[in-house]
Amino acid sequence: MSQSLSRKWTFAEPFLPRHPWIAALLFGTVATPAGIILGWLAPRPLDAVVALPLVLLDIWLEPGPTIGTAAERTETTLARLLALVLGIVLTWLYYVLVARLVLWRLTERGTDGDPQG
């Protein structure tokens, strides 16, 4: 038992090049709430920089003039709420894909000068 505890793990590569998707998922999970909060605080043209899918869905379903019965307005509110949840999910996916592309470029740049890879 003491032999297994004293043995240290050694890895040839750091964590990011070995598991780029896990790192991208972690980045997307942390960056999405930050992007949504920054998008909420920023004025309209700048919020699209940090939360593009959410802003696009929000603009698309922006409430118009209040015409119609209360039941029609409730349906519109429900559709807007579902679209905003979809926008949050798409924003998370946006951050995951951006992080994965950045990590892919960094690992490609790191292996360009390597004669073995």
Q: For the residues of 15-72, what is the DSSP string, one character each?
A: HHHH-HHHHHHHHHHHHHHHHHHHHHHS-HHHHHHH-HHHHHHHHHT------S-HHH
Nearest one of 21, 47, 46 to 36, comparing CA atoms = 47
pLDDT recorded at residue 70: 62
Q: Which residues of the chain have pLDDT under 70?
A: 1-17, 63-76, 110-117
Angstrom distance (rounded) from CA 40 to CA 92: 15
**Which pTM does this prediction carry?**
0.66
Domain ranges in the chain are 20-107
Predicted pLDDT at 44: 78
